């Protein structure tokens, strides 16, 4: 066939491009950065969004979304490594507004010489956290390793452990948006399961594949509605908790290998089991955009099960345990969806963590002073 016979293909391409531009224009007019119309370029002067605000990472030499510090650790400084996901990376807010940075500010204000390395990234899980710690940890020499994870591990593990997907395995690298309310929400997207990529690589991939407004809109329109029609599981299978335990232990093992203290962090959510009534529909839709197999009930009880697991592990292994659940869970002002924080939530999280870490830091200081 000759090229002239393929005008149908060209028309289809034209419609897709026009539709894309129109949607992006709409998004742009609402204040979102978009694939084609925003200044979120990958090079030159427009690269500021990727490298974040002045003084904060990630940069080429500094892979963390926190205040840039040199690799060499000053004597007497305690380095706190925060291994988390979008909850702590949270590109919705400026770097100066997210809880790892606020935690550093809070602890310094209380007289502690600390540096917080925010090794959190969208879609990271405990499995990824262990890898990143293994690869980057020796260079940055953390003293405390805080692991704040749950939902991404749940989403990774559930399809396999629920033995679904007989007609073909579900895609393990589903896209993951940041929030329910805009094209920008889907811009920060996934890394392959357990495979950390550089910030630049992730951004390029997300830009090409996922940040397309039409694609993101289509996903947003359909996925949560479809998942709501499924037979969903109401309780985490025991094997899933076993797998979570293995993952927590893997991060613990990496921290121990670096000579750092491992501090698991109990998970906080907008709607814990104690809260009455169903989750707000927007939150539930957002939950179902990420998780395709567990019901709202399973999510709530799953968080309880996971937090109980951390308590058990901490008791068994003699670990210090901190948590954001008591301070944050169930407080609507602190959450912008089912697990991501508002500005107020980040501030409250930083304060809660500082309160709980202070005795640990004091104890460490005493130990070092004694030595």
* ω into 249 cis (within 30 of 0): no
DSSP 3-state of 362: helix
Backbone angles phi, psi at 118, to 5 degrees: -90, 85
Binding site for other proteins (CB under 8 A): 1-3, 5-9, 11-16, 19, 159, 162-171, 174, 209, 214-215, 217-223, 226-227, 229-231, 292
Closest CA to 151 of 118, 171, 178: 178
In the bound state with other proteins, the residue whose beta carbon lies nearer, of 109 and 231, is 231
In the bound state with other proteins, the residue whose beta carbon lies nearer, of 15 and 308, is 15
Instruction: Give least dist CB 22 to other proteins, A.
Output: 12
Instruction: Give least dist CB 42 to other proteins, A.
Output: 20
In the bound state with other proteins, the residue whose beta carbon lies nearer, of 216 and 352, is 216
Residues 154/123, Cβ–Cβ less than 8 Å: no
Q: Map tokens 């953390």 to a residue.
A: 142
In the bound state with other proteins, the residue whose beta carbon lies nearer, of 150 and 293, is 293
Instruction: Give least dist CB 45 to other proteins, A.
Output: 30
Beta-strand ranges (E) seen in 45-187 are 78-84, 114-118, 144-148
Sign of CA dihedral 232, 234, 236, 237: negative
Instruction: Give least dist CB 27 to other proteins, A.
Output: 15
Counting every residue, how long is the chain? 371
- Taking the C-alpha atoms of residue 63 and residue 69, their distance in angstroms, rounded to an integer, is 11
Instruction: Give least dist CB 220 to other proteins, A.
Output: 8
Instruction: Give least dist CB 92 to other proteins, A.
Output: 23
Backbone angles phi, psi at 335, to 5 degrees: -120, 140
In the bound state with other proteins, the residue whose beta carbon lies nearer, of 164 and 311, is 164
In the bound state with other proteins, the residue whose beta carbon lies nearer, of 161 and 313, is 161
User: What tokens appear for 314 in the block?
Assistant: 């901490």
């Amino acid at each position: 066939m000759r090229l002239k016979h393929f005008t149908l293909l060209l028309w289809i391409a034209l419609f897709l491009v026009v539709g894309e531009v129109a949607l992006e224009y709409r998004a742009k007019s609402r204040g979102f950065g978009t694939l084609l119309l925003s200044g979120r370029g990958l090079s030159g002067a427009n690269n500021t969004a990727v490298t974040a605000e002045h003084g904060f990472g990630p940069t080429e030499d500094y892979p963390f979304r926190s205040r840039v510090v040199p690799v060499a650790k000053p004597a007497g400084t305690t380095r706190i490594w925060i291994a988390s996901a979008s909850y702590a990376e949270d590109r919705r807010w400026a770097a100066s507004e997210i809880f790892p940075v606020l935690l550093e500010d809070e602890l310094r204000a209380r007289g502690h010489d600390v540096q917080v390395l925010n090794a959190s990234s969208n879609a990271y899980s405990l499995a990824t956290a262990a890898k990143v710690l293994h690869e980057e940890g020796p260079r940055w020499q953390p003293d405390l390793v805080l692991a704040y994870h749950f939902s991404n591990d749940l989403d990774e593990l559930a399809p396999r452990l629920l033995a679904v997907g007989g007609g073909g395995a579900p895609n393990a690298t589903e896209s993951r948006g940041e929030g329910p309310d805009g094209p920008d929400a889907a811009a920060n997207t996934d890394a392959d399961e357990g495979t950390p990529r550089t910030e630049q690589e992730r951004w390029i991939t997300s830009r090409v594949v996922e940040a397309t407004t039409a694609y993101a809109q289509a996903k947003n329109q359909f996925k949560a509605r479809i998942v709501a029609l499924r037979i969903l599981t109401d309780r985490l299978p025991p094997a899933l908790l076993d797998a979570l335990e293995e993952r927590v232990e893997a991060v613990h093992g990496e921290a121990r290998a670096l000579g750092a203290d491992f501090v698991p962090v109990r998970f906080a959510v907008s709607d814990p089991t104690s809260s009455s009534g169903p989750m707000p529909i927007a939150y539930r839709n957002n939950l179902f955009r990420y998780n395709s197999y567990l019901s709202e009930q399973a999510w709530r009880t799953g968080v309880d099960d996971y937090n109980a697991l951390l308590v058990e592990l901490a008791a068994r292994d003699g670990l210090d345990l901190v948590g954001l659940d008591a301070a944050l869970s169930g407080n609507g002002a602190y959450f912008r969806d089912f697990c991501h924080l508002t500005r107020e939530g980040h501030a409250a999280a930083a304060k809660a963590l500082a309160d709980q870490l202070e005795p640990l830091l004091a104890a460490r200081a005493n130990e070092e002073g004694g030595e």
